Structure 1
Amino acid sequence: MLPVLVHFTFTALWSQLVLFAVALAAVGYIAYNGWRNAEGTPKAQGEKPAPPTSQERLMRALSYGVIGAGLAWFGLRYALPASAIPGGKGEGIPVHTYGVMLATGFITAASVAARLAQEEWRKLAWVPDAQGGGQWVDVEGPRKREAMLDLSFYLLVGGLVGSRVLFVLVNWKDYARDWTQVFSLGGGLVFYGGLIGAALAAYFFARKNDMDFLRLADLAIPTVSLGQCLGRLGCFSAGCCWGDVASAGTRFMAHFPGSGLARDIFGQLGGVSSLAYQSQAQDARYVVEATGEILHHSAPGAVRISEWVAQHGTTLPVYPTQIFESVGQLVLFLALLFARRYRRFHGQIFALWLMCYAALRTTVELFRGDTERGTLHGLLESLGARGLADAVPLEAWFNISTSQFISLCMFTFGATLLYQRIRRAGEVAGVGPTPSPA
C-alpha cells in the first residue's frame, strides 16, 4: 500500500450527506459538459457540422451523465459503509501524496498543452458587427484548445491502460499464479507503458480529427516532461522508484521511513511503510555500509539488509533518483519549449524529446536500486533460464532494466525520425542530394 497523506472517513451522517452532494454535483457537471460540447451532424462529408439541435445536446448530456453516474456509484460504494449504500465497503477516501502529485502533473501538462495549441493554430479573421465596424477574432485557436482538452481524456485512459499492461508484463511471474489480480486496484504503473498507450491514443485522435500527428506531438511532448517533473515528486513521497544504496559520505541521499515513522499531514502515524522500506525489509542480501556494496553472502563488515532496516525503522541511505529525474525533466521541458521557436519542420521537437528523455532515463536507471522494476536478470529467471540469470547478477552493469532497453529503442527511433525529417526538409528546400548525370 502507498503511504497516506490524509484519510477521509464517512461514518457520520452529515459527512455521508456531503459526499452524496459532491457526487451529485460531479455528475451534473459531467452532464453539463456533454450538453455544452455537443456537435451537430455535418450536412456533407468534409463540411463543418451544423449547430447542434436541442435533441442532440440532450442525448449527449444523457450519455455523459450515465457514465458519470456509473463512476459515482462505484466510488460511493467504495467509500461509504453498507449502512449508507447497498454493498458499501466503508473504505473512505484515502488521499495519497503520490496520487495528488500525479493528478497535479497531469492537469498542469494538459492546461499548458491546451494553451500552446491555441497559440499554435491561431487564425485571425475579421468579424463585422451591426454598427458597420468589426474586430479581429481568433477563429481556430480556441477550437484547437478545446480539442486538446478533449484529447487529455483519451491520453489519461490510454496512459493508465498502457502503464498497467507493461507493469503486468514486467511482473508476469507474480500475476501468472492468479491472473485475476491483473484487474485489482493494487499494483503499480510503468511510465514507459503509459507513454506508449498515450501515444497510440494521440495518434488515433489526430487521425480522427484531421490533425498532423507530428505537429501535435511537437506541441504536446514537452508538457509530458512537465507532468513527469511533478509526478516524480509523487514517487519520492511514496518511496517508490528508489535508488541504489549510497556509500557513506554521499552528499545526496535519502532515507524512506517504515510504518513506525511514516506520518500523515496531521503528524499522525499512518501505519503504512514507504514502498522502499517494504522492499528492503524483505531483502535477504547483505550490504557493506561504508561502501554501499551489495553482497549475496555474509562477509566481514557486512550486515543483512532486512535486519538493518528493522533495527533503524528506515531504509538504508539511497540515492534520491526520483529527485534526479524530476530536475532533469524540468530542464528538458524548458529547453524544448525554447527550441520550439526555432523548429524547421514538424516532428523535430518530438524526435529531440525521444532522444533526450531516453538519455536521461538511462542515466537515472544507473542509480536505481528497486529490482522490482524489471531487469534482464528477472526476465531470464521468469522464463526459467536460471543458469543464464545467474550469469547476469542483479548488481552487474550489464543487467539492464526494462526501461533501459526501451530507452535504447526509443533513442534509435528518435534519431531515425530526426534524420528522415531533416533529409526531407532539405529536399523540399532544394538542397537535397544532386542526382548524378546519366
Structure 2
Amino acid sequence: MLPVLVHFTFTSLWSQLLLYALAFAAVAYIAYNGWQGAEGTPTAPGEKPAPATTDQRMMRALIYGAIGAGIASFGLRYALPAGVFLGGKGEGIPIHTYGVLLASGFMTAVAVGSRLAQDEWRKLSWVPDAQGGGQWVDTEGPRKREQFMDLSFYLLVGGLVGSRVLFVLVNWKDYARDWTQAFSLGGGLVFYGGLIGAGLAAYVFSRLNGMDFLRLADLAIPTVSLGQCLGRLGCYAAGCCWGDVTAAGTRFAAHFPGASVARDLFGRIGGTSSLAFQSQAQDSRYVVEATGQILHQAAPGAVRISEWVAQHGTTLPVHPTQIYESLGQLVLFLVLLYARRFRRFHGQIFALWLMCYAVLRTSVELLRGDTERGTLNGLLNSLGARGLADSVPLEAWYNISTSQFISLCMFTFGATLLYRRIRRAGESAGVGPTPSPA
C-alpha cells in the first residue's frame, strides 16, 4: 500500500521559484481560456451569439484569472513556508495515491460516458456539398457528447459537495464543536453522498438542457461503476474503508502500514500512516489473534488492539474489502454495458444498477471493520441512548451501517422504478390487463 506516491517539498530557492512559475503559468492558462471562450450577445432569442468584443473577452479573462489566482494563492499558502509566502504552512505538495486513482476513475468514466452519449443520440443527416454530392454526417451525436462533457463539471461539483455533506452528517458530533472544520482539507468523503449529489446535479442539468433523465442515466450509471472500480483501489492504497479483522494466517488478508513502515513510490519512508492504522492504534478493544475474534474485555489469549499494532507497525490482518468492491464494480460495469443492447425502455439499466449495487454494497459492508463510517450503535451513542446502544454490539449483524440503510432505500427505489417501467412498457405494447366486460 502506498498512501502517498511522492511528497514534494519546497525548501530550496530553485524549487520555490519553480513553484511560483508553475502557479503563474496556471493562472495565465486559465485567463487565456476565459478569453478564448467568451461569447457575444445574441442578436435575437435562439440565434447564435455574435462574436465577442475585445471588452467582453477582457472581462471574461479577468474573471477567470481572478478565480485562478485565488486557487493558486491557496495552493502556495499550503505548500510554501511562512518565510516565503505570507501565512504559508510549509506542507509541500503530497501526491496521494487515493487522489490520483480517484481522479483517474472520474476521467475514465467521463471519457467512456461521452462516447456512449455520442452513440446513444447518433443521428445521421445528409449534408450536400458544392459539387452536387454530399455525405451522411452525424449531426446530433457530437453535440450530445459535448453536453456530456459539460455535465461532467457539474457531476464533479455535486459529487464532491454531496460526499462531504454526508460525511459531516455521519460524523456530526466531531464537527458540532467547530462547524468550520467541515470546510477544511481534513476529513473524508462518502460515496453514497457523492452519488446522491451527482444524481441531483444530473437531474437538474437534464431538465435545463431538454434531455431525458432516465435515458441519460442508463448510459451514465454503468460508468459510475467503472470510476468506482479505480476509486476503491485508491481506498486500498490509503487504507480507508478497511475490513474486519481476520484470523491469523488467512491467505487473502491485508496489513495496512503505520507511519514508520509506509513508503512512497521511491521506497522512502513517507511518514504518513494509513487510516486503518490510525484507527486501530486508538482501539481499546481486545482481539484473539489466532481467530480474529474481537472482545470488549480482557480474556486469556487476547491482546489489546492498540498495543498489537504499536508493536508490529501495521494493522492486524483485515479483509481487503476495497478489493472486493473494486472487482464487484468492474463486473457490474461490464454486465450492464452488455445489457444496454437489450434495453426495452429508458430507465431499465439505471434501475438494475440501483438494485445490483445495493446488494453488492450491503454484502461488502458485512465485512467492513471501520466503525467510523457510521453505524446504528454509533448513532444511538451520539443521541445519548447508551442503553439501547449496548443492546446493539458493534460486531452484531444487525448493527447496520449508514451505507446499508441507504442501500435498502436504493434497492426499494430501483425495484419500484423497474416495476413501474415494465408495467408501462407492457401497457404501451398492448399487453396490459384485459378490461373486464361491462
TM class, shorter-length: over 0.9
AA in 2 matched with 1:53: A
How far 1:208 sits from its partner (Å)? 1.0
CA, structure 1 residues 205+60, in 2 after alignment: closer, same or farther (shift >3 Å)? farther
How far 1:141 sits from its partner (Å)? 1.4
Confirm or deny: 8 A CA contact 2:35 2:61 kept in the other structure: yes
1:417 aligned partner: 417
1:28 aligned partner: 28
Structure 2: state its 5+ residue gaps. Answer: none
Confirm or deny: 8 A CA contact 2:106 2:227 kept in the other structure: yes
Whether 2:284 is the aligned partner of 1:284: answer yes
CA, structure 1 residues 417+268, in 2 after alignment: closer, same or farther (shift >3 Å)? same
1:95 aligned partner: 95
2:429 aligned partner: 429
Whether 2:336 is the aligned partner of 1:336: answer yes
1:6 aligned partner: 6
Over the aligned positions, Cα root-mean-square deviation in angstroms equals: 1.9
AA in 2 matched with 1:294: I
Q: 1:213-292 maps to which residues of 2 (within 5 A)?
A: 213-292=213-292
CA, structure 1 residues 347+139, in 2 after alignment: closer, same or farther (shift >3 Å)? same
Taking the aligned partners of 1:60 and 1:138, their CA distance within structure 2 comes to 32
1:128 aligned partner: 128
2:401 aligned partner: 401
CA, structure 1 residues 212+39, in 2 after alignment: closer, same or farther (shift >3 Å)? farther
Whether 2:174 is the aligned partner of 1:177: answer no
2:158 aligned partner: 158
AA in 1 matched with 2:272: V
1:113 aligned partner: 113
CA, structure 1 residues 207+85, in 2 after alignment: closer, same or farther (shift >3 Å)? same
How far 1:38 sits from its partner (Å)? 4.7
Whether 2:69 is the aligned partner of 1:69: answer yes
How far 1:425 sits from its partner (Å)? 1.1
Confirm or deny: 8 A CA contact 1:258 1:277 kept in the other structure: yes
Whether 2:135 is the aligned partner of 1:148: answer no
How far 1:269 sits from its partner (Å)? 0.9
Confirm or deny: 8 A CA contact 2:41 2:52 kept in the other structure: no
Identity of aligned residues (%): 82
How far 1:416 sits from its partner (Å)? 0.4
Range with greater deviation from structure 2 (68-77 or 225-234):
68-77
How far 1:69 sits from its partner (Å)? 2.5
Taking the aligned partners of 1:298 and 1:406, their CA distance within structure 2 comes to 35
Q: 1:187-202 maps to which residues of 2 (within 5 A)?
A: 187-202=187-202
Confirm or deny: 8 A CA contact 1:39 1:49 kept in the other structure: no
How far 1:261 sits from its partner (Å)? 0.8
Normalised to the residue count of structure 2, the TM-score between the two structures is 0.95
Q: 1:49-68 maps to which residues of 2 (within 5 A)?
A: 49-50=48-49, 52-54=51-53, 59-68=59-68
Taking the aligned partners of 2:338 and 2:379, their CA distance within structure 1 comes to 40
Confirm or deny: 8 A CA contact 1:163 1:193 kept in the other structure: yes
Taking the aligned partners of 1:344 and 1:41, their CA distance within structure 2 comes to 43
How far 1:433 sits from its partner (Å)? 1.7
Confirm or deny: 8 A CA contact 1:127 1:137 kept in the other structure: yes
CA, structure 1 residues 206+106, in 2 after alignment: closer, same or farther (shift >3 Å)? same
Confirm or deny: 8 A CA contact 1:40 1:49 kept in the other structure: no
1:294 aligned partner: 294
How far 1:185 sits from its partner (Å)? 1.1
Superposed CA offset, 1:350-376 (max 9, x none): 111100000000000000001111000
The number of equivalent residue pairs is 436
Secondary structure at the residue paired with 1:5?
strand
Superposed CA offset, 1:201-223 (max 9, x none): 11111111111111111111111
Taking the aligned partners of 1:425 and 1:31, their CA distance within structure 2 comes to 50
How far 1:86 sits from its partner (Å)? 3.2
Secondary structure at the residue paired with 2:297?
coil
AA in 2 matched with 1:427: E
Taking the aligned partners of 2:427 and 2:283, their CA distance within structure 1 comes to 58
Secondary structure at the residue paired with 1:127?
strand
Structure 1: state its 5+ residue gaps. Answer: none
Normalised to the residue count of structure 1, the TM-score between the two structures is 0.95
Secondary structure at the residue paired with 1:95?
strand
1:211 aligned partner: 211
How far 1:396 sits from its partner (Å)? 0.5
1:104 aligned partner: 104
Superposed CA offset, 1:390-412 (max 9, x none): 00000001000000000000000
How far 1:430 sits from its partner (Å)? 1.4
